[in-house]
Structures are given as structure tokens and as C-alpha cells.
Amino acid sequence: MGSSGRYTAYYAPTWRMAKYLQPSSVVTQLQSGHGWTSNGTGVTSNLNNTTAGLPVIGTQCASLTTGGGGAQSNLRKFAGTIPDTTGKAVRLRVRCDDITHLNELDFYLGTSSLGSNYKWQFHIQGASALVTSGDWVTVVLNFGDATTTGTPARSGLTDAQLQAWDDNTGNAVTVHLQSVELVADPSATYPNGLVSFCFDDAYQSVWDLLKPRLDLYGYPASVYVIADIVGTGVGAAARLTWAELRALQDSCGWEISGHAATDADHSSTLTSMTAAQVDADLRSLKAQMRDNGLHGDGYAYPLGQFGRTVDGQPTGPIVERYFAYARTTASRTKHEHTVPGDPLRIRGLSGISTFAGGITPTSLTTTSTGVLDVAKANASWVVLVFHQGTTGTVDATTKVLQSDFNSIVDKVNTNAMQVLTVADVLRG
């Protein structure tokens, strides 16, 4: 056995998430006689695609290819029967052969030929997009992320549609749909919703400025470390020491998990490295964490990037040699599910900051329409990702004012939302 095999066995996660997904009510698995059709300008389709190696359920899936002109392209079934969605979330299995020219993926449930509907815009072209090329992706959609047209109701729905948009460059995109299902939402366990606080890069300001507000309410958090810069830096660039990280874990109940072995690899990202380089970084990261008494089995993708290495290997299977889950910064849909569609694609809201381009703190705390009130109303899980705290100038989306952070924590407390580390949520 090669060194990768030896180290994989030694540094494998101490716990594994169940590979099989929670039970569901099946709307369709796109098998023979499913009744779905295609629609759109220039669209071609294979509604009963039995290509060897493509379907992951049964013997076929439904496929469409866009026209390349930026128009909507649909797989749909109207006037069907959809089980009551009250207390449920929607689970989809989708695949795109090449996302280079995929601009957007949307899903709809509704009535009256979608004249009244719920709509989820769950993939947008760009960094940290949820769907990656050539992979079957399972995503769970909470009704808290849906926009509405008309007056849809959670019961009596009849219409379903997957909508794909290419980027209007003349390049067609092929998308496959394998299943539409309903799964129980976590309202029975977390009736007021659930929040996880995450801190990437392990800045000293987390301890000095942000931890005190969490301590006020006894809230834990998850920290993701870059091993070779632990305990380095001065001023705003200072990082937590191994001893401080160990104290957070042992005395405060925080989760201390991995981000990268080296700052250089963190800046490079997994998708700019070979599979061997990714494995080496992860192996070294896990070893340094274990050598310093840290037990975290979670991982935050460097700069949120995941998909394929430069030599074409999927990053997920490499990551799970060492870590039980991986967190992204994909947040087109903001509400994660406590039994995620893919534990290697946990959605997280990153860049919470008043700096231009950030997710404004008020977008989380605004009454009724803010993310936290929506999460409470829909019993969803929100993963909040921060980097540095400051009491001075906010000059990057990685910085949050201490006062803004405090207001977010206070809102979580006012809402009586449960607060757990990411790992504790996933362990159930």
C-alpha cells in the first residue's frame, strides 16, 4: 500500500455521516411513463435517457440540451399530483455535463401552469456555484428560500419544473434530472430554526472581539484553521495559537476543524492543484491538527472552491478520506437542511460585512424579512461564516464590526434559535 493509503487509514475521520439520505416521498424518479415534457427555444431533449452509466436511480433519467441563446429551457410536468409539502423540503438530484456555460438553474412548484408558484434559484454561474461539471448533485431546498408568484399554498400543488439557462454565447448546455422528492423539514427538532457560527482562518480577533458575545449566551462555534499560520502575525493579521484553539475545543465546546495545511495552498485553492497535491495538503493538515490535540473532522474549502482538480479528479472523494463533511461558501439558497443533500457541499453565508459586496448584517437581522426571521419561520438551518472582527475600519468583506456581530448574536437569542457547531448538527 502506498503512503496515501497508509495516511488515509491513520487520519480518517473518527465519525462518518450516514451515506444514505433520509426517507422521502417521491414525486418522480423519471422512470418510464413519468409524463414530463421539455419546453423552450432551440431545446432538444431525451426524456427517457438510458445511456449506460448515466442514471443513478432505476434505468433512466430525463435530459435536456439548451439552445445556446440564453432562453429558458424547461423540463416540466403540469396537472400532476404532488404530495402535501407542509412540513417538508424539496430534494432534487440534478447533473450538468459541463457548467462552463450554465448561467442558472431554477426549480418551481405551483398550480395553474405555474401561474401561481414557489421558485428556487439554486445555482448561479460564478465562484462557489453549487453544481459542478459532470457530477450528480443532490440539493435540498427549504421553502424559506422560495420566492412566490401569485398565492401558492403548500398543499394542492400540481405543477413541477426544472428550468435551465445558458449564458447566451451560442454554447448549448446539457442538464439531467433524476428525481424530485419531499423530505421532512427539521421543525419537530428545531421549531425555531437553527444557527451555526463559523470562523475561517482562525484570526485572534475571534477570541478578542467576537467570542465574548457568544459566551454571553453559552453559544459554541466552529473554527477552521490554516495550520502553518497558527500563532503567527501581529495586529489585525494575528492568528490564534494552538493553545488557544485547544482551549476553545476543550473548555468552550467549540469545534476546531480544518481549512488548509499551508496559506499558499489556501490561496491556490483545491481546483488549482493536482489530486496528489490536494491529498498531501489534507493529510498534512489532519496530521498537524491531531498532533496538537484537535479532534475536528470538518473542513472548509479554501476560498470556497470545489469541483475538479487540474488533473480532472473530483475534490469531494479526496476530502472525505480525511474529513466527515466539507463546508462551502455557496449561498444562492441560504437555508441548509439538517440532513444535507451532500455533506461535502454544506452551504454557508460568507462575507457578512458592511463592506461593498458583502452580505449586510441587517439582511440577517431585519424583522420578518431578514434571514434569521425567515429561518425561524421555516425551521431551517443557517450557517453563518465570519473571518475577522474589528472595532475600526471595515475595508474588506472578511471583516465585521464587533457591534454588527453582536447584533446578529442578539437576534439569534431573541428568536430562541438553537445554536450548534456544524459537526454537532450533522451528528444529529
User: What stretches of 89-237 show up as alpha helix (H) in DSSP?
Assistant: 204-205, 211-217
Q: Which sequence spans correspond to the domains of the chain?
A: 25-184, 194-427
Distances 126 to 95, 167, 200 between C-alpha atoms, Å:
17, 12, 21
Distance between CA atoms of residues 141 and 61, nearest Å: 20
Beta-sheet pairing, 136-141 with 88-96: antiparallel
What's the average model confidence in pLDDT over 155-160? 98
Task: Please give the helix or strand (H or E) that residue 148 lies within, else none.
Answer: strand 147-149
Residues 4-21: tens digit of each pLDDT = 344 444 588 988 877 667
Q: Which three cell numbers stand for residue 325?
A: 463533511
- DSSP character string of 163-204: EEEE-SSS---EEEEEEEEEEE-GGGT-TT-EEEEEEES-BH
N-terminal to C-terminal alpha carbon distance within the chain: 35
**pLDDT of amino acid 128:** 72
Query: Is pLDDT above 60 for 1?
Result: no
- Check: CB of residue 205 under 8 Å from CB of residue 388: yes
Where is average pLDDT lowest: 61-65, 411-415, 424-428? 424-428
The answer to whether 109 and 117 are in contact (CB under 8 A) is yes
Instruction: Please give the pLDDT value at position 402.
Output: 98
- pLDDT band of residue 116 (cuts 50, 70, 90) is very high
Supply the pLDDT for residue 14: 87
Topology adopted by domain 25-184? Jelly Rolls (2.60.120)
Query: pLDDT tens-digit profile of 175-186?
Result: 999 999 999 999
Instruction: Inform me whether the pLDDT recorded for 2 exceeds 50.
Output: no
- pLDDT tens digits, 208-267: 999 999 999 999 999 999 999 999 999 999 999 999 999 999 999 999 999 999 999 999
Q: Which residue has the cell 436511480?
A: 57
Higher pLDDT, 103 or 127: 103
pLDDT at residue 270 is higher than 50: yes
What CA–CA distance (Å, rounded) separates 62 from 176? 6
Q: Domain 194-427: give its CATH superfamily.
A: Glycoside hydrolase/deacetylase (3.20.20.370)
Q: Tell me, what amino acid is at 90?
A: V
